[in-house]
Structure 1
Amino acid sequence: MEHLYLSLLLLFVSFVTLSFFFLFYRHWSNFAGANLPPGTIGYPLIGESLEFLSTGWKGHPEKFIFDRMHKFSSRIFKTSIFGEPAAVLCGPSCNKFLFSNENKLVAAWWPDSVNKVFPTSLQTNSQEEAKKMRKLLPQFLKPEALQRYIGIMDGLAQRHFASGWENKKEVTVFPLAKRYTFALACRIFLSVEDPNHVARLAGTFHLLASGIISMPIDLPGTPFNKAIKASRFIRKELLEIIKQRKADLADGKASAAQDILSHMLTTSDENGQFMSESDIADKILGLLIGGHDTASAACTFIVKFLAELPHINEHVYQEQMEIAKSKAPGELLNWDDIQRMKYSWNVACEVMRLAPPLQGAFREAINDFIFNGFTIPKGWKLYWSANSTHKNAEYFPEPDKFDPARFEGNGPAPYTFVPFGGGPRMCPGKEYARLEILVFMHNLVKRFKWQKLLPDEKIIVDPMPIPANGLPVRLIPHQP
């Protein structure tokens, strides 16, 4: 009887496997005769997903890209990732093509896991969502609008370093950087300042951020399941904040220019329609994710590289101390101070070139089109990679060398330095990120020097670069 059960089980497994193979090859046979880009589609169903992800887990995500650029084409090659046929476009001309054809030939694409975590995004398509955000955010996140928040950022950073760094011999940088960027986002986006409220949101938010782009398996204990539960909790909290804010706006206790939440509640579209509370909650959630993990990674790697490069650290320190000495006791940073941090921002840019928080992003072909002589079928996914230019000697000589001078004068050639993307979908929070990073650097270097405790700490990219142990450092306070 056992042999019969085993035989039936093997027969079932064989049937399922053959069915998958049949569906996979029938799917790809639809493109027979088309002049597709060179490349390989990998294994049935999983394609090359494991290699795409594993190179990141090993700390070298660029290897997947450069191996195929060398083997197939330096500009475009095909692959299969996350069960989707895809073309990877490499180089500045490809970046320009994708960025400039947003909503013409291509549109934003996210894995199913993102849509399930953000359910209201299923009610409209990505093009409509992008239009909404492009109208809403620039008014609030443009430099002249953000100037009034620099003092608030500096005050929060001072409290952050006083509570989390000072009087400590050793700290782990990445968790502290996340605490800083999340507290700042809560204050600037929502005017939430109570440390207990921020901490309650942060604990749940980290579950959301770590599971949003994962295998969409909604079973108890999986990262995806935890992310869905976390999104429900945070959305409930946000809806309570939104209801209270609407009441405060009606009573004159809050202003329309107070933060992004007030801005969303008081701004209508061209038809006079306002966003629903649930839609605003999802938008705020998206902003928290977009403005939190990427900035946390950037701040962490700034600490890493400055620890490894004392001469660069000293130059940053001198620039920041000139600003600090020009301030009266208790005076906060202002816009003019930020504009004087030119070398510090060049250092931050070089950090983001070598360890881009955003490794790349997907688009989807709206229609069939020809690029570089190859057919891109409708529905195919297109991936652009920051590393295809950031770590390419053709655009950045000696790409592994840390050299902030690359960003002096006119800086890198167009479409070669793309940590914030480009085109209509360039990160709307670019200026906000610049401010929070520079305020972090100012408050860090004027207080401490530091040493890495793990000289050869591994870097994991999943999907953003993260030191495997969080970057523990020994702090050395400056003497008065």
Structure 2
Amino acid sequence: MEGVLLAVAASLAVFALTIAYYISFRRSSCRANLPPGSFGWPIIGESIEFLFGKPEKFVGDRMRKYSPEIFKTKIFGEKTAVLCGPKGNKFIFTNEQKYFTSFRPHSMQHLFRSYKTKAAAQAQAEAEAQAQRQSSDESKMIRQPGFLKPEALMRYLRKMDSISRQQLAIHWSGKEIVQVYPMAKTLTLTLASHFFLGVNNPERIARLVKYFDDITVGMHSIMLNIPGTVFYRANKAAAFIRKELVDVIQEKKQAMADHGSPPMRDILSHLIAMAMTTTTTGPAAAAADYETADKIMGLLTAGYSTVATTITFLMKYVGLHPEIYEKVRAEQMEVALAASKKGEGEVLLEWEDMNRMKYSWNVVCETMRMVPPLQGMMREVSTEFSFGGHTVPKGWKVYWTVSTTNKNPDYFKDPERFNPSRYDEDGEAPPPYTNVPFGGGPRMCPGKEYARLAILAFLHNAVRRYKWQVLDPHEKVDGDMMPAPQNGLPIRLINY
């Protein structure tokens, strides 16, 4: 009897503590003045509406319903505050180091995490400590001064120009009807592989396009790892690419051992050299190879999908507006004429040539406003902060998105009109923090300059050789987080 009473008393105590905790939590939440909004369904939150509805509709509906400055939601399993408009963008970009740390959705974390052999997995504890020491150095190497800074890209520009010419000749020469998107993907993956890996083998790279497509879609998906799902296909693709990259790493390491360390012209060589200073052979070396493969896979994916998307829709909008095409071609012919005066033989683009492409870059910026290659990014809140009269607790996530500004008539006059002249010095001059396809602040996309050069080098060669007609101006666009024309954007080429 006494035991029963003790059990009942214990149960009542647990129940009372639970109720007290719940009431305390509710009161603290009220005192915190959390942003308005809804967390949606248990577990999945509002992820389905976010992923499968139009991003601008998802965001716009909640801005109108809750607040034009900030609202809460739950996406990718995370309590998230969406900061809206140029004020929200500015707050995030200018307070990166004060309130936020980097964060990737769990689906992305999972895809870019090594799947090691059993022997290598046993060395994980040792490798993790080493990886922590290296990670800040690697990030610094990639960002500043790094390979993606102008001073490094200057040495690579001529190769970008040459590869663009080669790819156009391979895929479009002698053809009347072509699809832009498949060629753009092959081109950008070839560029990224040459730049990041030091690999110049188009056949080896081209066969990976489908796998990178699967990863790109799977990065923003519900983590349901069963056959037939987007995430399952992305997992399979990541495993295939990871294995291919480990082969490349081992080949490069063997070449270094046989012939001495070559000039460090690509990021992979630097990552290998850094790893080799602390690992030798066995499981630790195998683990280091997989860690390096994951880092490179992330860089390749970033340097592939967004650039290919922008090139594709750039071709669409330029093809649909003959007057814009003529202005772009006139500018690029002037660039080519100035370049031809530098010397005899094959003349390739130089850094000063890119600085002459001001109108062409305006066209690219307008393309990214109309069809953002990336909808936004998440950050983790490291220190509680207030914005718009509401408090966002530590541990939550924040999300900045182009959808709150890029087609807002308050910031862009006649926003559905494709108008590159709005970026002219005497144009409309969109307010700061309204067109932010690369983000901003300390965590602005480090590949912005790389993307600019890759896109302009392609455009330079395309308009000098072809005019084109978009065969289906109303072709459906699949995907919202990563947009893609349903039929690959078929065009009719007219050779000069």
Q: Confirm or deny that 1:402 pairs with 2:397.
A: no
The 2-side partners of 1:88 and 1:73 are apart by 10
1:364 pairs with one of 368, 377, 380: 380
2:301 pairs with one of 259, 282, 289: 289
Match of 2:35 in 1: 37
Match of 2:409 in 1: 393
Query: What pairs up with 1:145-184 in 2 under 5 angstroms?
Result: 145-184=152-191
Q: Confirm or deny that 1:316 pairs with 2:328.
A: yes
Per-residue deviation, 1:126: 10
1:340 pairs with one of 349, 353, 356: 356
Per-residue deviation, 1:136: 3.0
Distance 1:27 1:113, change over 3 A: farther
The 2-side partners of 1:273 and 1:35 are apart by 49
The 1-side partners of 2:137 and 2:398 are apart by 21
Match of 2:461 in 1: 443
Per-residue deviation, 1:435: 0.5
Match of 1:7 in 2: none
Per-residue deviation, 1:408: 2.8
CA contact (8 A) 2:176 2:493 kept: yes
1:102 pairs with one of 82, 96, 100: 96
Per-residue deviation, 1:83: 3.4
Distance 1:277 1:103, change over 3 A: farther
Q: Confirm or deny that 1:354 pairs with 2:348.
A: no
State the AA in 2 paired with 1:347. V
The 1-side partners of 2:23 and 2:140 are apart by 40
Partner deviation per Cα, 1:191-245 (whole Å, 9 max, x = no partner)? 2112221123334333333323322122233332222222222222212222222
Match of 1:265 in 2: 272
Q: Confirm or deny that 1:470 pairs with 2:488.
A: yes
Match of 1:433 in 2: 451
CA contact (8 A) 1:136 1:264 kept: no
Unaligned runs of 5+ in 1: 1-24
Determine helix, strand or coil for the equivalent of 2:187.
helix
Determine helix, strand or coil for the equivalent of 1:171.
strand
Per-residue deviation, 1:42: 3.2
Per-residue deviation, 1:316: 0.2
Match of 1:218 in 2: 225
Partner deviation per Cα, 1:53-79 (whole Å, 9 max, x = no partner)? 2333xxxx2122222222322111122
Determine helix, strand or coil for the equivalent of 1:31.
helix
Distance 1:82 1:127, change over 3 A: farther
Per-residue deviation, 1:308: 1.5
CA contact (8 A) 2:63 2:69 kept: yes
Per-residue deviation, 1:251: 4.5
Q: Confirm or deny that 1:64 pairs with 2:68.
A: no
State the AA in 1 paired with 2:347. E
Partner deviation per Cα, 1:15-66 (whole Å, 9 max, x = no partner)? xxxxxxxxxx99995834431112233344433323222333xxxx212222
Determine helix, strand or coil for the equivalent of 2:79.
strand
Distance 1:367 1:209, change over 3 A: same
Distance 1:53 1:218, change over 3 A: closer
Query: RMSD value over aligned CA atoms?
Result: 2.9
Per-residue deviation, 1:347: 0.7
State the AA in 2 paired with 1:345. W
Per-residue deviation, 1:336: 1.9
The 2-side partners of 1:97 and 1:206 are apart by 33
Distance 1:26 1:172, change over 3 A: farther
Partner deviation per Cα, 1:280-330 (whole Å, 9 max, x = no partner)? 211110001111000011001101111111111110011111222342552
The 2-side partners of 1:75 and 1:52 are apart by 18
The 2-side partners of 1:462 and 1:354 are apart by 12
TM-score (norm 1): 0.85
Partner deviation per Cα, 1:157-210 (whole Å, 9 max, x = no partner)? 111011111211111111111111001111111121122211233343333333
2:214 pairs with one of 194, 199, 207: 207
Q: Confirm or deny that 1:48 pairs with 2:32.
A: no
Match of 1:87 in 2: 81
Match of 2:119 in 1: none
State the AA in 2 paired with 1:137. R
The 2-side partners of 1:189 and 1:219 are apart by 32
Distance 1:212 1:407, change over 3 A: same
1:384 pairs with one of 381, 400, 403: 400
Identity among equivalent positions (%) equals 48
Match of 1:73 in 2: 67
Q: Which moved more, 1:76-85 or 1:343-352?
A: 76-85
The 1-side partners of 2:435 and 2:245 are apart by 35
1:418 pairs with one of 426, 433, 436: 436
Unaligned runs of 5+ in 2: 1-21, 116-123, 280-284
Q: Which moved more, 1:218-227 or 1:176-185?
A: 218-227
The 2-side partners of 1:161 and 1:249 are apart by 33
Per-residue deviation, 1:127: 12
The 1-side partners of 2:98 and 2:114 are apart by 24
CA contact (8 A) 1:256 1:263 kept: no
Bigger Rg, which one: 2
Match of 2:139 in 1: 133
